[in-house]
Amino acid sequence: MDYKFLPTTDPQVLELLRAEEARQKSGLELIASENYASAAVLETMASVLNNKYSEGYPGKRYYAGNEVVDSVESLAIERAKKLFGANFVNVQALSGSPANLAVYFALVQPGDTILGLKLDHGGHLSHGHPINFTGKTYNFVQYGVNPVTGRVEMDEVERLAKEHKPKMIVAGFSAYSRDFDWVRFKQIADEIGALTFADIAHVAGLIAGKAIAGPIEAGFDVVTTTTHKTLRGPRGALIFSKDEEVAKKINRSVFPGLQGGPHEHVIAAIAVALGEALQPEFSEYAKKVIQNAQTLATQLIAKGFKIISDGTDNHLMVVDLQNKNVGGKEFTDALDRAGISASASTIPNDPNPPMKPSGVRLGTAAITTRGMGEAEMVKIAEWIDRVAQNFANEDELAKIKKEVSQLAVKFPVPGI
């Protein structure tokens, strides 16, 4: 990336940016929540829209000079509606957890009962974990996965819903590799009169690319997503709804309920990313992400790795490392020294504490963006296996890192 002013204005920051560019170009990104935004998205975030304050919504601002901003935000909204088939979209939430907070703030009261997926079973902190604001504010009842299949047990969700009569059922995940049965969630919620809230932050791009089904067409009351991850945009969020009254509550919740001025340079970049996702080639990308994940999972299973649920339907997988005699944090540190970025992860009913979990989460969204395919997945699985066998052997890790770099530089990183 060309930097016109930093060389003289702040060479120290420029040096750090160049170092990060080099790291990204020479390594492999398997962190499931990360991806590469296009050069156009990065360019838009560096635009003059960063200078504008715009409290309110299009046509209803508290500051003057927002006629261009109104058009930018309206464009992002219309593209999101078209891409996801939604009636209403709020594009102002700053990220995923703030978007989720806005939903809770709008639709439930402190102390209300809510059903959500356990964190160590693949859920997210904002789905009711006790240390999170959601667990401290609401009465969360948590469902989990079947200990044998590793899949969400829908009969158990139904039983818990009928027993506890939650005001809302949250369906979504951050570390679950199978499709969600959105239709069954909606049927269970309708039977007890509960609201349905889906968090599709991880799979929004796969849904937008028509590679998997989503909750909007299943009739969910409200849906949130981040705009990076599989959607390949900037760090922001979207909130969808099918109901006009719910939409009004969401807008009031975001502003003035929780936020002041939105980040219009990011919203413009979201519009660019949504425009890219509306192109036919994005659907091919979404399908390729899943194909790569399934190839990687199959290769790892063949090498003796235990994948939770024995495979994947999306872009990620959680690997149970207990049979490899290495902890998740220890393993991700070794992978990092070998030029492969991943994230340590809890496994269902993990016997170890969260800071020293028993698993690792892997994802294929970023490496697919770089153009990698089945042959590269086979090679990556071989490197992961070698790291597992040599996680304390620095010479071998250095050798793997060199091999990783030789492959990685053949696949350019967008924007660099």
* Catalytic sites, residue numbers: 53, 55, 199, 226, 229, 235
Query: 247 phi and psi, to 5 degrees?
Result: -60, -45
Task: Give the span between the Cα atoms of 141 and 157, in whole angstroms.
Answer: 10
The C-alpha angle with vertex 259 and arms to 255 and 262, in degrees rounded to 5, equals: 85
- Partnered with residue 237 across adjacent β-strands are 226
Task: Give the span between the Cα atoms of 264 and 130, in whole angstroms.
Answer: 33
The C-alpha angle with vertex 197 and arms to 196 and 200, in degrees rounded to 5, equals: 135
Task: Give the span between the Cα atoms of 138 and 205, in whole angstroms.
Answer: 30
Q: What are the DSSP calls for 92-108, one per residue?
A: ---SHHHHHHHHHHHH-
Task: Give the span between the Cα atoms of 164 and 162, in whole angstroms.
Answer: 6
User: Which 8-state DSSP code applies to residue 253?
Assistant: I
Distance of CA 363 to the CA centre of its chain: 10
Cα dihedral across residues 156, 158, 162, 167: positive or negative: positive
Q: What are the DSSP calls for 273-305, one per residue?
A: HHHHHTSHHHHHHHHHHHHHHHHHHHHHHHTT-
For residue 297, give every residue at least 6 positions away whose Cβ sits within 8 Å of its Cβ, in sequence order, or none. Answer: 177, 307, 311, 312, 317
Task: Give the span between the Cα atoms of 356 and 350, in whole angstroms.
Answer: 10
